[in-house]
Copies of this chain bind each other. A is one copy, B any other.
Amino acid sequence: MDSKAFFKLSYGVYIISTSADGRESGCVINTLTQVTSSPARLSIALNKENYTFKLIETSGTFSAVVLSDDVEMDLIRRFGFQCGKDVEKYDGIPHGRDSLYNPYPTEGVCARFTCRVVSSMDVGTHMIIVGEAVEAEVLDSQTPALTYSNYHLKKNGTTPPKAPSYQADTDKVTGWRCSVCGYILESETLPPDFICPVCGKDASYFVKL
């Protein structure tokens, strides 16, 4: 199997959010897909370790925004590279609330949806969640959506997030680097079930240093 074949798949970049039990959180995904039109239903795939996933299990609803091509990398870093269990991701950033009280970012986004969960399926490390759209709104009709390939270009043009592990002199480190957020695991071996503690990606996203 040539893993480069998977890089030929095209995606957008989205932030999924919800609120439950007095907490709220969101995360970055690339797997938002419209699966039916009548009624309009959207599917997402979320890692089961993901904090937003755990909140959606309780709330049964989620908001989704489509990131714009001109989105600030800071917004992606805020929602994609840290865990909502430890950080209030919505603190201090412009956001709205949908009719089901889910928050959603309002800058750097071009469309939003609100969904009620109608079914879900366990697919291993991830759950596929299907939601029926109850709201859909264009927030910026001028700016195109950010594609996943443009996201990778954008990401490579910026400094990776600062955390103790990033401050190591990587020339001298033996270990594994997360190709999504840059986190480094200083270890000879990479456990197959390892999950990046910063961005939640699994072992397949890690490259040997």
- B-binding residues in A (CB < 8 A): 1-6, 8-12, 31-41, 43, 45, 66, 110-113, 118-119, 121-126, 128, 130, 133-138, 141, 145, 147-148, 192-193, 201-205
Contact = CB atoms under 8 A, between A and B. Distances in A.
B38 A202 contact: yes
A4 B138 contact: yes
A41 B124 contact: yes
Given A2-B137, A6-B40, A37-B204, 20 more contacts: A2-B136, A5-B136, A5-B138, A8-B111, A8-B145, A9-B33, A10-B11, A10-B148, A35-B45, A35-B123, A35-B128, A37-B205, A38-B124, A39-B124, A40-B204, A121-B128, A121-B130, A128-B128, A128-B130, A147-B147
Given A5-B113, A141-B4, A33 B31 contact: yes
What 3 A-B pairs have minimum CB-CB distances, sorted nearest first? Answer: A10-B12, A37-B204, A8-B111
- Copies of this chain, complex-wide, total 2
Nearest to A130: B123
Nearest to A14: B9
A202 B203 CA distance: 39
Contacts of A123: 35-36, 41, 43, 118-119, 130
29 contacts: A1-B134, A1-B136, A1-B137, A3-B40, A4-B111, A5-B137, A6-B34, A8-B138, A8-B145, A9-B145, A11-B11, A11-B12, A31-B33, A31-B34, A33-B45, A35-B128, A36-B45, A36-B123, A36-B126, A37-B201, A37-B204, A37-B205, A38-B193, A38-B203, A39-B124, A41-B123, A43-B43, A121-B121, A128-B130
